[in-house]
Chain A
C-alpha cells in the first residue's frame, strides 16, 4: 500500500477524524477527570499536569520534526539523563570558584544546550553522512548515554549541591503570573515549532524529505541537511527540557528519563503525525502529550482502575489514535 496523502486539502474542507479525534479524546478525558474528582480542574492540579508534561512535550516537538523528515530518535531519554548528569557535574565542579549565583546557572544551561546540540549532531552525522539506519544509530546511542550516566554517577545518583539546588529551584517551580516556567517554555517551543512546521521553507523540506526522499532530492531539497538539522534541533530541545528537569529534584541517576523516547514518539503519533514521515503536526503533538499525562493523572486521582493497568490504557489510546488516522486515509 503506497500512501501519498494530501491532508492539508482535506483539513481545509471539513475537519477530518484525524484532526478531531485527538481533540475529542482530550475533551472526553477532561470530562471524565472533572466527573471523578472535584480537584481535577483545580489550578494546582492543572499546573502540575502541564508542568510535568513540559519535559516530554518539549522533546516531542523536536521529535515531530525528526519523524516528519522520515527519521526516528530512540536515544532522547538516555540523552536527557546523560545531559542532566553532565550539567550537575559541571555546576558542582564550578561551585567553589563561581559561588552560588546567576552565572553558574547560566553555565549549567549552556552546558546542557551545547551537550544536546553535540549529541544531536552526532546522531545526525552518523545517520545522514554515514548512511546508517536511524533506528540502529539511536538504539546504539541510547545504550551509550544510559551507560555513561550510570558510570558518571558510579551506579548511584548525581545530586546537585544543596544550596545550588535551592537557588535553582524557582526555574521549575516559579513563573510569571502563576504560570510556571516549564509551561511558559513549553508554550514558546510549541509556538515556534508550529510556525516553522506549517509556515517555513524548512517545514516543507521536512515533509518533502519524509514523504519521498528521492523526489525531494530532485526537487532541489538538501535531504541530508534537512535531516541533520532535525536531529540537531531535537538535541537542543532535549537540552532545554533538561534545564527544566534538573531543578525539580536536583538529581540524575540511571533511572532518569527511562522510556521518555517512547512517550515522546507515542505523543507525536497520537497527535496525527505519520510515523513513516511526510506529514507532521506540532499542535497535534501537544494534544498527544496532554492526553498521555492526563491518563496518568486521572488514574492517580481515582481508585477506579488498578494501577497495574496504567500502561494498558495508554496502549489502547495509542492504537486507537492510529486507527483513526487510517480511517481518514481510506476516506480522502
Chain B
C-alpha cells in the first residue's frame, strides 16, 4: 500500500514539474481563425501564417499553433484541443460568430491564459485581455464621405451589402448617416454576400430595374468585381464609378493605375490578425503593457497613396 502511494506521489511530482518545466521553457500561443473561404479570409490566413513563421524565428521562447475552422463548431473544437493538448499560454482568436464562441473563449480566459480577440467581439464584455479590431463604423463613414465628395451635386446610387451580420449593419448604418442630406439618393440595397457571383446577378437585376444609376457602393472588392462585370456586359455608360472596399491587391492596382471606374478604395486590412499576434507575443515576452483595445482605422485609398497599400504577394 505504502509503496503504491509513493509511486503515485512520485508520478504526480514528475508530471507537475514536467508541466512547470514546459511552461517555463516555451510558451505556446494558440491562433484560431476562420478558414480561407472568401477573399478577405484568404488574405487573413496568409498574414497569419506569415506572422507565425516570422515570430517563431524572432522569439525562440515562443511556439505557435495555428488552426483554421470552416464553421463555429469546428472552431470551438480547435480551441478545446489547444487547451487540452498544447497547454497554451495565450489565445489569439478571430471568432467565427460571437455568441457560440463566447463560452469556450471565456473558459480559456478563466484557466489563466491570455486572450486576444480580433475583429468580431464576444457577447460578454471583459473576457479578453486585448481586443484588436477594424473600424466597421469608420469603414462605412469613410465610404459615405468619399461618395459625398465624389458626387457634390448628388445622384442615384445602389448599395451592395455583405452577409447579413452585425458587421454589415454597422457599416451600412454609418454609410447612410454619412450621406444623409447630401443629395445622394439610395435607389436600392441588396445583399451580395461578399461574393462575386451573387453581386453579378444582383447588379444585372439592378440594371434591368433602374434606367439610370450614377454610382455603386459595392462595399467590398469581391462584390465590386461582380458589379463591374455586370455593367460591362450590359454596355451601360451611366455608371460613373464603383467604390469597393477592403483593399484587394488587384483593385488597389487599378486605383493606382488611374482607372476612373475604381477611383478609390477603403481599407479594412486582413493583416489586422498580424497586429494581434504580434502584440500578444510582445505581451508574453516583455514588460510592455499591451492590454486594452486597439482599433485599426479605415483609410481612404486614392491614386496618390495606393501603392502604400499594395501587397503583391498576398492572395488578397
A residues engaging B (CB < 8 A)?
37, 39-40, 42, 44-45, 48, 52, 150, 153-157, 159, 173, 248-249, 251, 253-256, 296-297, 300-301, 303, 307-308
Contacts and interface: CB of A to CB of B under 8 A. Distances in A.
Interface stretch (B18-26, B33-41, B302-310): B33-41
Given A48-B205, A253-B42, A255-B37, 13 more contacts: A45-B205, A154-B46, A154-B315, A155-B36, A155-B41, A156-B314, A249-B229, A251-B196, A255-B38, A256-B197, A301-B208, A303-B188, A308-B164
Q: How many interface residues does chain B have, given as a range? A: 35 or more
A155 B315 contact: yes
Given A150-B37, A255-B37, A157 B42 contact: yes
A275 B51 CA distance: 49
Interface in B206-246: 206-209, 222, 225-226, 229, 233-234
A88 to B, nearest CB: 14
B35 A159 contact: no
A40 B229 CA distance: 21
A150 B234 CA distance: 31
A44 B208 CA distance: 7
A34 to B, nearest CB: 13
Contacts of B86: none
A44 B211 CA distance: 12
A261 B27 CA distance: 45
A40 B225 CA distance: 25
A67 B205 CA distance: 32
Contact of A42 (B36, B38, B208, B225): B208
A253 B229 contact: no
A307 B191 contact: yes
Which 3 residue pairs of A and B lie closest in terms of their CB atoms, listed nearest first? A156-B315, A155-B36, A155-B42
Contact of A156 (B36, B164, B190, B200): B36
Contacts of A253: 38-39, 42, 196
B42 A254 contact: yes
Contacts of B190: 300, 307
A296 B201 contact: yes
Contacts of B176: none
B156 interface: no
10 contacts: A40-B208, A42-B208, A150-B35, A153-B315, A155-B42, A155-B43, A155-B315, A156-B39, A156-B46, A249-B197
Contacts of B205: 45, 48, 297, 300-301
A161 to B, nearest CB: 12
B189 to A, nearest CB: 8
Which of A155, A256, A300 is the most central at the interface, judged by chain B CB atoms within 10 Å of its CB?
A155
Contacts of B164: 308
Contacts of A44: 207-208, 234
Contacts of A248: 200, 229
B208 A48 contact: yes
B268 interface: no
Contact of B45 (A155, A173, A251, A297): A155
B202 interface: yes
Given A249-B200, A249-B225, A156 B43 contact: yes
B315 A52 contact: no
B114 interface: no
A133 B191 CA distance: 37
A255 B233 CA distance: 22
B166 to A, nearest CB: 14
B316 interface: yes
Contacts of A159: 250
A255 B163 CA distance: 13
Contact of A39 (B200, B201, B209, B250): B209
A27 to B, nearest CB: 20
A157 B43 CA distance: 10
A243 B208 CA distance: 26
B315 A157 contact: yes
A52 B39 contact: no
